[in-house]
Amino acid sequence: MVPIRQNEKIRNIAIIAHVDHGKTTLVDAMFKQAGLFREGASVQDRLMDNQDLEKERGITISAKNCEVEWKGVKINILDTPGHADFGGEVERALSMVDGVILLVDASEGPLPQTRFVLDKALKLGLHLTVVINKIDRGDARPLVVFDEVNDLLIDLDATDEQLEFPLIYAIGRDGIAKKDLDDEASNLDVLFDTIINEIPGPTHNINTPFQMLVCDLSYSDFLGRLAIGKIHNGSVTAKDKLVCIDKNGDRTPLKVSKLQVHKGVGYEEVETAEPGDIVILSGVSDVSIGDTICAENAPEPLPRLEVEEPTVSMRFTINTSPLVGQEGKIVQGSKLQARLEKETLNNVAIQVVPAEDGDGWIVKGRGELQMAIIIEEMRREGFELCVGRPEVICHKKDGKLMEPMEHLSIDCEEIHSGVIIEKISKRKGIMSNFMTEHGGRCKIDFLVPSRALIGYRDEFLTDTKGSGIMNSISAGFEEYKGAIPSRLTGSLVADRPGSAVPYALFHLEPRGTLYIEAGAPIYEGMIIGVRNKEHDLNVNPCKAKQLSNVRASGKDDAVVLTPVSPMSLERAINIILEDEMVEITPKSIRLRKKILSAQGRKGAKKREN
């Protein structure tokens, strides 16, 4: 019989939820009640979302670790992303915990990504606590949401034990939690007590020497590479002789310069750490996520951290436009490759391989949002690059081509449901559920090929006049569904270099919708707008008005151009066609043809035919 012991002084939990259901706000309230901040101190909202992009977009991109203490018990909290594109971060976080708090909005109820994160937790056998949040909303329906959570658990084949979950009602923003809707409460005592009483402490084998699974990497300017993970067995001190076992079984001796644990939102140096704690080892240079760090005299690897396979790929290349180097400082291919390889070290869901034709690199991930975040981070670091259209990754099985599918959930006004059902059906989507909600809105569920959703989001927002909500999660692979109609219109392509002239743009407006404003730099092969007909049209946006001594300077009416919507990164990578790319610099986002020369494009089309 294996001698197993539980560490009752520690609780490791993850907070999981759909996007914008209040995870990070609840963690803020837990910090305040646990006395992490002195009274009257000014504390920013969503403290755990410390990246610039997280603050700007209001979403959690990477899982964060923190710690609070309650009644003498140390609680390590992992705040996880809610978006399925960052599923690798969720899987990484769940590998370090023994229980999860499932947060569900009291109005919206369980949504697709609630299903995604909950399914991961149930498969790992983690102990579950459900918190129905935002019960103070005017349209809150907590009792109905409770039934929906039960239905979701049954649908996900939860065990009898997992179905007997503790239930808490909360207003995370105000730091209030209670067992019953009619209870009076002014703090989170109920939540803290439930964590300690219902979620077990981490277990370990008392006869096994030190073992730790590396679940995250960080970097310090003073300490170098930091390896973060949970101690599965044994204890460790900063002076111990350790060894790292990589995915090939190779062993590398390690010299740990400092041993730290989480203290609040920061780190605290300690002499020793015990089983079940989440530790930070400093000075470990050659280590990757999924490696095992263990005692030198007993090198036994733990099961590696496994994440789902990527479903989307994009081509990344150096910037080859005539404007290269004017706005960014990093344009070399070697530096672009090094940056992409660095991303794979910190992001378990990303893979990078050289393109088969030698032109750039193929980056594989979970979705367009994940790709857009990587690109946005790179442009803020000073990179100039070009990226292609996102493509789904298909597989062969038993001689058949299999493509990734997604569960798509639409929340919209009932008046818009007809056009949505029609367009999703044309994209090979199959409706699985239609449910009318209160307030004239409805929920529609589809099973749809992943490639059908590339470029659809902008069209969806137009069709629903900005009031629709669209969410999707992976639904495995099914046999290829056949051709799907993509964008039916062509592009307006500049045929010469120069600067955009108002007179020329005014006369091009009837031909389509423009992406550029007057004065913008132009080069041959740059896409200046979308045409309102099929096929591309080469145009001259630099053509000036011809003056003569017959015309008076004030005779003609002033040119008034239609305002142009700023081109966002997500919009750009979604609207380009297969023969187009997005040029990205720290200051600009431009659309362009892969082959800039009009003559070169003609020749390529002839060869293709």
Q: Which residue ranges make up the annotated binding site?
A: 20-25, 133-136
* In the predicted structure, residue 493 carries a pLDDT above the cut 90: yes
C-alpha span between 384 and 113 (Å, rounded) = 33
Lowest mean pLDDT among 40-54, 266-280, 404-418, 528-542: 40-54
Instruction: Determine the Cα–Cα distance for residues 494 and 460; give it in Å rounded to an integer.
Output: 29
Strand partners, 527: 493, 591
Q: Could you tell me if residue 450 is inside a domain? A: yes
Phi/psi at 61 (5° precision): -100, -40
Q: What is the pLDDT of residue 553?
A: 53
C-alpha distances out from residue 479 to 405, 408, 472, 572, Å: 9, 18, 19, 29
Who contacts 475 (Cβ-Cβ below 8 Å, separation ≥6)? 404, 405, 406, 407, 447
Strand order across the 64-70 sheet: 64-70, 73-79, 10-17, 99-105, 127-133, 167-171, 176-178
Higher pLDDT, 493 or 78: 493
In a domain? residue 301: no
The predicted pLDDT at position 466 comes to: 81
What pLDDT is attached to residue 61?
Answer: 56
Annotated binding site for GTP: 20-25, 133-136
- Same domain, yes or no: 14 and 153: yes
Q: How far apart are alpha carbons 459 and 566 in whole angstroms?
A: 17
385-404, pLDDT tens digit by residue? 999 999 888 888 888 999 98
| Distances, alpha carbon 416 to alpha carbons 356, 436, 496, in Å | 44, 12, 42
| 14 found inside a domain | yes
Residues 114-129 pLDDT 10s: 777 788 888 888 899 9
> What is the structure's pLDDT at 605?
83
CATH number of the domain residue 425 falls in: 3.30.70.240
Highest mean pLDDT among 15-24, 302-311, 405-414, 582-591: 582-591
Alpha carbons 25 and 260: distance in angstroms, whole number: 26
pLDDT at 225: 75
**256 shares its domain with 189:** no
The mean-pLDDT minimum among 249-253, 329-333, 434-438, 554-558 falls in 554-558
Total of domains in the chain: 4
Could you tell me if 146 and 31 lie in one domain? yes
Exposure string of 107-143, with b = 16+ CB inside 10 Å and e = fewer, is: bbbbbbbbbbbbbbbbeeebbbbbbbbbbeeeebbbe
The mean pLDDT of 249-269, rounded to a whole number, is: 83
**CA distances for 161 relative to 129, 153, 190, 202, 436, angstroms:** 12, 11, 21, 18, 33
Residue 302 lies in a domain: no
Same domain, 28 and 140: yes
In a domain, 303, yes or no: no
Question: Sorting pLDDT into bands at 50, 70 and 90, what band is 331?
Answer: very high
Contact 538, 493 (CB under 8 A): yes
Backbone angle region of 107, left / alpha / beta, with phi > 0 → left and psi within -120 to 50 → alpha = alpha
Do 425 and 537 share a structural domain?
A: no
- The whole-number pLDDT of residue 48 equals 47
Percent of the chain with pLDDT over 90: 23
Is the domain of 340 the same as that of 451?
Answer: no
Q: Is the pLDDT of residue 139 over 90?
A: no
> Which pLDDT band, with edges at 50, 70 and 90, does 337 fall under?
very high
pLDDT confidence of residue 316: 96
Q: In the sheet that 266-269 helps form, which strands lie side by side, from edge to edge?
A: 251-254, 242-245, 292-295, 211-220, 224-233, 278-282, 258-263, 266-269
Position 551 scores a pLDDT of: 55
The distance of Cα 75 from the centroid of its chain, to the nearest Å, equals 26
DSSP 51-93: SHHHHHHTS--S-EEEEEEETTEEEEEEE---SGGGHHHHHHH
Residue in 441, 563, 553 with CA at minimum distance from that of residue 509: 563
Residue 512 to residue 575: CA distance in whole angstroms: 14
* Identity of the residue numbered 128: L
Q: What's the one-letter identity of residue 287? A: V
Is pLDDT above 80 for 364?
Answer: yes
Number of C-beta neighbours around residue 12 at 10 A: 26
The stretch 569-587 carries a mean pLDDT of 90
The whole-number pLDDT of residue 438 equals 61
Q: What is the mean pLDDT of residues 477-490?
A: 83
State residue 44's pLDDT score: 47
pLDDT at 592 (0 to 100): 95
Is 433 a residue whose pLDDT tops 90? no
DSSP 8-state class, residue 98: S
Tell me whether residue 514 is in a domain. Answer: yes
My answer on whether 190 and 159 are in the same domain is: yes
Q: Is the same domain home to 18 and 138?
A: yes
- What pLDDT is stored for residue 521 in this prediction? 94
Domain boundary among 203, 225, 257: 203
Within 454-515, residue ranges assigned H as helices are 456-463, 502-508
Residue 246 belongs to some domain of the structure:
yes
* Helix residue spans in 99-185 (DSSP H): 112-123, 142-155, 160-163
* 246 vs 92, residue with greater confidence: 246
Segments of 461-525 assigned E as strands: 469-479, 491-494, 498-499, 512-514, 521-522
Tally Cβ neighbours within 10 Å of residue 404.
20
User: Tens digits of per-residue pLDDT, 549-562?
Assistant: 665 555 545 778 88
79 and 194, same structural domain? yes
What is the domain range of residue 278?
208-295
Structure tokens given for 178: 């209670």
Query: pLDDT class for 42, splitting at 50, 70, 90?
Result: very low
The reply to whether 335 and 464 lie within a common domain is no
In-domain check, residue 362: yes
- Position 1 scores a pLDDT of 52
Q: What is the pLDDT of residue 41?
A: 43
In one letter, which amino acid is 331?
V
Tokens of 223: 């300490």
CATH of the domain at 608: 3.30.70.870
**Are residues 104 and 168 located together in one domain of the fold?**
yes
The per-residue pLDDT for 378 is: 92
Q: Helix-strand-coil percent breakdown of the chain, rounded to 5? A: 25, 35, 40
| Residue 589 binned pLDDT confidence (cut-offs 50, 70, 90) | very high
Tokens (6 digits) for 412:
């919209």
Same domain, 330 and 414: no
207-248 residue pLDDT tens: 888 889 888 877 776 777 788 888 898 888 877 888 888 888
Q: What is the pLDDT of residue 23?
A: 77
The whole-number average pLDDT for the span 484-510 is 88
pLDDT score of 38: 47
Segment 29-44 shows an average pLDDT of: 62
HEC assignment per residue over 246-277: CCCCCEEEECCCEEEEEEECEEEECCEECCCC
Q: In this predicted model, which residue has the larger pLDDT, 592 or 435?
A: 592
What per-residue string of b and e applies to 326-341 under the rule 16 or more CB within 10 Å gives b? ebbebbeeeebbebbe
Of 479, 498, 529, the position where a domain reaches its end is 479
pLDDT score at 484? 82
pLDDT at residue 549, rounded to an integer: 60
First to last CA, the chain: 70
Q: The domain that contains 125 carries what CATH number?
A: 3.40.50.300
Given a contact cutoff of 8 angstroms between Cβ atoms, the answer to whether 119 and 89 are in contact is no
Q: Whole-number mean pLDDT of the chain?
A: 83
Q: Is 169 helix (H, G, I), strand (E, B) or coil?
A: strand
Checking if the pLDDT of 43 tops 60, the result is no
Of 158, 181, 203, which closes a domain? 203
Q: What is the dihedral of CA 305, 276, 4, 299, to 10 degrees?
A: 50
Opening angle at CA 301, ends 296 and 305, nearest 5: 135
**310, 393 Cβ separation under 8 angstroms:** yes
